Chain A
Amino acid sequence: MNTTNKPTYVIAVTGLNAIDSPGPGISVIRALRDATSFNVRIIGICYETMEPGIYMHDLIDKTYQSPYPSAGVDVLMERFRYINEIENVDFLFPNFDAELFNFIKLEQRFKTELGIKMLLPTSEQFEARHKTELYEFGQKYDIKVPITKSITNASEIAEIAQKIGFPLVVKGKFYDAKIAYNLDQAAQHFQKISAQWGLPILIQQFVHGAEVNVCGVGDGNGELLGAVPMRKLYITDKGKAWSGITIADDELIEMNREMVKSTKWRGPFELEVIKNSNDEFYLIEINPRFPAWCYLTVGAGQNQIESAVNFAMGTKVEPFTTYEVGKMFVRYSYDMIVGIEEFEKISTNGEL
């Protein structure tokens, strides 16, 4: 790669947990390493000392441990003030849903006090696309969303089931979703998911069809900078894609374009959509960040991650209009050998 006449950006990335249910960080970093319009120094941001990305020195130049989101914005600000004094970070990619709330709150302070830019949805967009609000979101923007009710007691399921029928989907507020074929199953799923992820629980109409996901970026002014649809070919027991393939679907792209236009979505997103037998799209979820499979967009000819950085850094970005159909990703596991001294450093110093 020609490294001359190009800016070098220091980019911090979270989500280094490249495990069986992976965070997006490593895919984002690989995309950044593939960028042709800038050079990068990558700063990994981790929570746990066993996040594999910490030890991937060919991808990440330096990693710092970060306080958990529950510690609040002040502690987070102080930690990044420290990191920034050493690294002079240009751009930050938060990649976890749970941390986004804090980073959205801190976006302006990061920019003005630390000089760190981010490309995030607004707090209104972030709140509106929550699973608990998605049905209303769909009604507001004329997007089909399965009927969804938020409940705090399993006794409420029966009344909802009378309206939407079985099967139905029992979902956690943040994670997990299980299909129930009768009331007993629904109650069991309610107990299990609420014990793990808390209340409320969502009861959602089941839509028969094929699930397709779209990875895209909105510019905050209503323009879609890129969108690549993917169909999962193989999923893990947690429902995560282990392989997938890019597909051609102009109507789906148009649906994404309309969503970005009407909401003025800012930043990366992943849309989870069910296409039913009548070729109607039902929006299941909007993830307000790049998905773990986002490197497929690079393989298909849209380095959306590079575009997002360039857009945020004020470089003119041309929206992608094409991508290669039939490009697949196949995920794999890999055992790294790590010296105990590396584990010691990240465990005791909080950086490696």
Chain B
Amino acid sequence: MVLKKNIAVSDNGFLFNPTTGDSYSLNATGIEFLKLLQKGKQNDEIIAEISAEFEIDTITVEKDLNDFKSTLVRLKLAE
């Protein structure tokens, strides 16, 4: 999955897709997922970081990450 380069996200999680004009509000986990994806981190790195930061087991984080990524693709924020 590759994030679209021109999507913009503010510090408080307001995400704007300049191609469609759509905007979304991310929760705290979503903000972290997106930041790490934008940094080019791999799945296992993201899962480890989020699991440590939010004290959640890695299986749950992996499921959430997959859900998040499929949502990004469905909303055409990633390919």
A interface residues (Cβ-Cβ under 8 A, vs B) = 210, 230-231, 233, 244-249, 325-326
Q: How far is the CA of A94 from the CA of B20 in the complex (A)?
A: 31
Q: Which residue of B lies closest to A233 (CB)?
A: B21
Contact check, B16 vs A326: say whether CB atoms are below 8 A apart: yes
- B8 beta carbon closer than 8 Å to chain A: yes
Name the interface residues of B25-54: CB closer than 8 Å to any CB of A: none
Contacts of A231 in B (CB 8 A): 20-21
Q: How far is the CA of A248 from the CA of B18 in the complex (A)?
A: 5
Contacts of A249 in B (CB 8 A): 19
Q: How far is the CA of A210 from the CA of B21 in the complex (A)?
A: 10
Contacts of A230 in B (CB 8 A): 21
> How many pairs, one residue from A and one from B, have CB atoms within 8 Å of each other in the complex?
20
Q: How far is the CA of A249 from the CA of B4 in the complex (A)?
A: 13
- Give min CB distance, B79 to chain A, whole Å: 12
Extra 9 A-B pairs, beta carbons < 8 Å, given A231-B20, A326-B16? A231-B21, A244-B21, A245-B21, A246-B21, A247-B18, A247-B20, A249-B19, A325-B18, A326-B8
Contacts of B16 in A (CB 8 A): 326
- Give min CB distance, B44 to chain A, whole Å: 33
- Give min CB distance, B10 to chain A, whole Å: 11
- B6 beta carbon closer than 8 Å to chain A: yes
Interface of A is mostly: strand
Contact check, B19 vs A247: say whether CB atoms are below 8 A apart: yes
- Give min CB distance, B61 to chain A, whole Å: 31
Q: Mark B3-24, 1 if CB is under 8 A from A, else 0.
A: 0001010000000101111000
Q: Mark B49-67, 1 if CB is under 8 A from A, else 0.
A: 0000000000000000000
Q: How far is the CA of A247 from the CA of B21 in the complex (A)?
A: 6
Interface centre among B6, B16, B19, B21 (most CB of A within 10 A): B21
Contact check, A248 vs B8: say whether CB atoms are below 8 A apart: no
Q: How far is the CA of A155 from the CA of B21 in the complex (A)?
A: 41
Q: How far is the CA of A233 from the CA of B18 in the complex (A)?
A: 13
Contacts of A248 in B (CB 8 A): 6, 18-19
Q: How far is the CA of A107 from the CA of B16 in the complex (A)?
A: 44
Q: How far is the CA of A322 from the CA of B18 in the complex (A)?
A: 14
- Give min CB distance, A278 to chain B, whole Å: 12
Contacts of A246 in B (CB 8 A): 21
Closest 3 CB pairs of A and B: A231-B21, A248-B18, A245-B21
Q: How far is the CA of A245 from the CA of B21 in the complex (A)?
A: 6
- Give min CB distance, B53 to chain A, whole Å: 30
Contacts of B20 in A (CB 8 A): 210, 231, 247
Contacts of A325 in B (CB 8 A): 18
Q: Which residue of A lies closest to B21 (CB)?
A: A231
Q: Which residue of B lies closest to A210 (CB)?
A: B20
**9 residue pairs bridging A and B, Cβ less than 8 Å apart:** A231-B20, A231-B21, A233-B21, A245-B21, A247-B20, A248-B6, A248-B18, A248-B19, A326-B8
- Give min CB distance, A252 to chain B, whole Å: 9
Contacts of A233 in B (CB 8 A): 21
Contacts of B21 in A (CB 8 A): 230-231, 233, 244-247
Contacts of A244 in B (CB 8 A): 21
Contacts of B6 in A (CB 8 A): 248
Q: How far is the CA of A231 from the CA of B18 in the complex (A)?
A: 10
Q: How far is the CA of A233 from the CA of B6 in the complex (A)?
A: 20
Q: How far is the CA of A246 from the CA of B18 in the complex (A)?
A: 8
- Give min CB distance, B19 to chain A, whole Å: 6
Q: How far is the CA of A244 from the CA of B20 in the complex (A)?
A: 11
Q: How far is the CA of A325 from the CA of B8 in the complex (A)?
A: 11
Q: How far is the CA of A100 from the CA of B6 in the complex (A)?
A: 40
- Give min CB distance, B70 to chain A, whole Å: 17
Q: How far is the CA of A326 from the CA of B28 in the complex (A)?
A: 23
Q: Which residue of A lies closest to B17 (CB)?
A: A247
Q: Which residue of B lies closest to A229 (CB)?
A: B21
Q: Which residue of B lies closest to A277 (CB)?
A: B76
Q: How far is the CA of A244 from the CA of B21 in the complex (A)?
A: 8
